[in-house]
A and B are shown apart, each in its own frame.
Chain A
Amino acid sequence: GESVGLHLPTLSVQEGDNSIINCAYSNSASDYFIWYKQESGKGPQFIIDIRSNMDKRQGQRVTVLLNKTVKHLSLQIAATQPGDSAVYFCAENMSQGAQKLVFGQGTRLTINP
């Protein structure tokens, strides 16, 4: 399944499938990007980050892709599990020399058994 961030804030996938969550960021000068996962009643949890000098970074079951040409960021989750159900936020650092993250509105991912 695939989402387009602000335009499709919910995404449902079957357990075991791969999911792709997309995010369009706003500032071409942003040099750092992070994906967070937020479960109900909890604060955002860091998943993976990527710097602008890279276009791909892999973690455990997650991959982040960065396309600076079109200012697009995606999070791929492999072999989704029920515990992956949450809201996922992308964030960009728009402040050179500082660290003020600007967050997207989030995408709700639901894993169906």
Chain B
Amino acid sequence: GAGVSQSPSNKVTEKGKDVELRCDPISGHTALYWYRQSLGQGLEFLIYFQGNSAPDKSGLPSDRFSAERTGGSVSTLTIQRTQQEDSAVYLCASSLKKYNSPLHFGNGTRLTVT
């Protein structure tokens, strides 16, 4: 079966532009997460969707960051007016609804803001 799919795999953008990153979770997984990983660092939680509940946005670093999940499946992370410090790998993960189920990650989108 297919794993978590993210696109694009690489994105280079100019400072000030908006970018959209896409995530297709594993079929049947109701929970979806976005994390950010800066070079050589651990993963930083951004946002979490669980079914039809309101998303947990507590990790979003600024109001330039937003995410939505349409139809309980595909998710899009949008960064407006990108800054150089936004350069990182953005990782999406999904899991079953069951509490304490492991997260399964995609290979990420490497974002470079020039």
Contact = CB atoms under 8 A, between A and B. Distances in A.
A103 B31 contact: no
B100 A31 contact: yes
A71 B114 CA distance: 41
Contacts of A43: 4, 91, 93, 105-108
A99 B105 contact: no
A25 interface: no
Contact of A46 (B48, B102, B108): B102
A106 B100 contact: no
A44 B105 contact: yes
Nearest to B44: A103
Given A44-B43, A89-B42, A99 B100 contact: yes
B42 A104 contact: yes
B99 A97 contact: yes
Given A43-B91, A100-B56, A89 B103 contact: no
Interface in B1-55: 4, 31, 33, 35, 41-43, 45, 48, 50
Nearest to A50: B100
B107 A101 contact: no
A105 B39 CA distance: 11
B76 to A, nearest CB: 18
A101 B103 contact: yes
A97 to B, nearest CB: 7
A59 interface: no
Given A51-B100, A104-B42, 10 more contacts: A36-B105, A42-B108, A43-B4, A43-B93, A43-B108, A45-B105, A49-B100, A49-B102, A98-B48, A99-B31
Interface of A: 31-32, 34, 36, 41-46, 49, 51, 89, 91, 93, 97-106
11 contacts: A31-B100, A36-B105, A41-B107, A42-B107, A43-B105, A44-B91, A89-B43, A93-B100, A98-B56, A102-B45, A105-B41
Interface of B: 4, 31, 33, 35, 41-43, 45, 48, 50, 56, 59, 91, 93, 95, 99-108
